[in-house]
Amino acid sequence: MSKSSSPTIKEMIQTLQNMCMTQMEGLVQRIDDVDRKCTGLAQQLGEVKNTIDTLTLSSASSGTGSTFMSIENKVDYLNQQFGNSIPQESLLTFIQREVDVKEKDVEMILKGSASIYDVCATRLVELVDRYDGKTHFLYAFAFQKYTVYFWNHDHEGTWERMSIKEACSIFEVVQQKLIGMYTIMVQENHDGIRGVDVVDYGDRLFVDNFDKKYAEFKKLLFNGLTHGGA
């Protein structure tokens, strides 16, 4: 029986090199697979980000954008989204003509079941809702607490952040309409205010303390425009 020859050192080295090459090729293949998966994942993440950005902008334009915090310049955004909202007249003229006050409003104010600030804010929000999607003139971002923007036709036609001056002017327009409604009700001896002593309760309608009630009015307006800030 012949003795089998043992592999030479050269053959052993060659075999080892072949094994290493095979393992290396497998490792390279696995690295390529991982790289392809990472590239695919990055693409998917990019698509998800684009979708989120789109939804965020859409949410903000509907007035419910609580995540709409990445846009720093809200005025620029509003100008781009809504543009020339009331092109032919001032905001005060528009509100004076379009806001709807009711006899029940006057009755609630005089009898103390609602303040004039509650009523004015409610009627302004109703006006905004009535023109939703057609004409924009008051706006609030839900995440930006108690900040309201308005369309300023008189100042180069742009959106601006509302200050106490503009808020007071808007409030007084609605107040004047309520006083006008009250005058008609008095002349007609309306049942809703019969027996109401204007000397005792008239100050609820003829208020002149907006500087003290500005924060309250702005909060009421903001909550109405954002449906409670949700």
DSSP character string of 125-175 = HHHHHHTTTT---EE--TTSTT--EEEETTTTSEEEE--HHHHHHHHHHHH
Token reading at 171: 């409030």
pLDDT along the chain (230 residues), means of 10: 60 66 68 70 61 47 46 86 80 95 96 96 96 89 93 85 97 97 91 82 93 97 82
**Beta partners for 182?**
none
Q: Residue 166: what pLDDT?
A: 96
pTM: 0.69
Q: Residue 83: what pLDDT?
A: 74
User: How long a stretch of residues is the chain?
Assistant: 230
Among candidate residues 90, 118, 92, the one with its CA nearest the CA of residue 104? 118
Q: Residue 130: what pLDDT?
A: 93
Among candidate residues 167, 127, 131, 132, the one with its CA nearest the CA of residue 147? 167
Whole-Å CA distances, 77 to 14, 124, 129, 151, 159: 70, 23, 20, 13, 9
Q: Residue 63: what pLDDT?
A: 45
